[in-house]
Amino acid sequence: MLDHDFIDNYTSGFDMTIDAVKDYTLEWAEEVTGIKKEKIKEAAELWGKAKTSFLLHARGIEHHSKGVDNVLGCINLVLATGRIGKPYCGYGTITGQGNGQGGREHGHKCDQLPGNRDIENPEHRKYISEVWGIDEKDLPGKGLSAYEIIEAIHRGEIKGSGKIECPCHKGFFDAMTGEVLEGPPPRALPKLEVFFKDSGVFVKSFQEAGLVGCIIYQKGIEVHKKRPKQEFRSFFI
């Protein structure tokens, strides 16, 4: 199942890799992963015997204590079987970074033009304006970063509508007070206590705050009130 021609012509360090994994048997993999060795073998043969294949993964294997090793293992698998640089084969990731990189390459970052060009560089501005067929003066200047936008909001230089919209009922609330501004909502948004604990920020749930909640059943709606609990629910860390 290995593509030795590809390995010899386009890779290096293959012998070292084989030596590093020589003790990783199917039995070892079964014990570590909890997946039956027959299933692991079946997956390996499915990949190895296929004429073409594309390895694609999301953030799960990256956000892991062994994330780098996981990704390198995927890349090594693609290289060892020669599944890259040819039609219908390859390796890729579905990540936020990929979307961010795409945005930057298309000139959507506040201080860049496509191709990692500086929006304040006269030569870069001239080149892009010619490619786009526009007057250079129509290109915007450098914008604010995410942090600078927040600071500008606090200074009152950037202002929003000050409203929170409920898209289900088309109601609007005051973003500062939670009071109803317009629409069908019968009451203001509830206020929940936000507090710091250790290194995290927490918010009390409806039940912990002693607020009335609703449980929807097939036969109707039952209004109930629960006694506040002592434990807390994490908001974000």
User: 86-108 as b/e, with b when 16 or more CB fall inside 10 Å?
Assistant: eeebebeeeeeeeeeeeebeebe
Pairing of strands 54-57, 90-93: parallel
The residue-averaged pLDDT of 10-23 equals 91
pLDDT in tens, 156-168: 888 777 888 888 7
The three state secondary structure string of 14-67 is HHHHHHHCCCCCHHHHHHHHCCCHHHHHHHHHHHHHCCCCEEEECCCCCCCCCH
How many of the other CB atoms lie within 10 Å of CB of 59?
13
pLDDT in tens, 32-85: 999 999 999 999 999 999 999 999 988 888 888 888 899 999 999 999 999 999
Query: Is it the case that residue 117 has pLDDT exceeding 70?
Result: yes
pLDDT band at 96 (very low <50, low <70, confident <90, very high): low
Higher model confidence: residue 28 or residue 212? 28
What are the beta bridge partners of residue 147?
none
Query: Is it the case that residue 234 has pLDDT exceeding 90?
Result: no
Query: Is it the case that residue 215 has pLDDT exceeding 60?
Result: no
Report the distance separating Cα 191 and Cα 161, nearest Å: 20
Entry pTM: 0.46
pLDDT band at 235 (very low <50, low <70, confident <90, very high): very low
Mean pLDDT of the chain, nearest integer: 80
Q: How much is the pLDDT for 54?
A: 94
pLDDT in tens, 162-209: 888 888 778 899 888 889 999 888 888 887 777 777 767 777 665 555
Q: How much is the pLDDT for 180?
A: 92
Q: How much is the pLDDT for 89?
A: 94
Tell me if residue 188 falls in helix, strand or coil.
coil
Report the distance separating Cα 235 and Cα 201, nearest Å: 6
The helix/strand count (H/E) of the chain reads as 8, 12
Q: How much is the pLDDT for 218?
A: 33
Domain ranges in the chain with CATH number 3.40.228.10: 4-93
CATH code of the domain occupying 4-93: 3.40.228.10
Higher model confidence: residue 160 or residue 212? 160
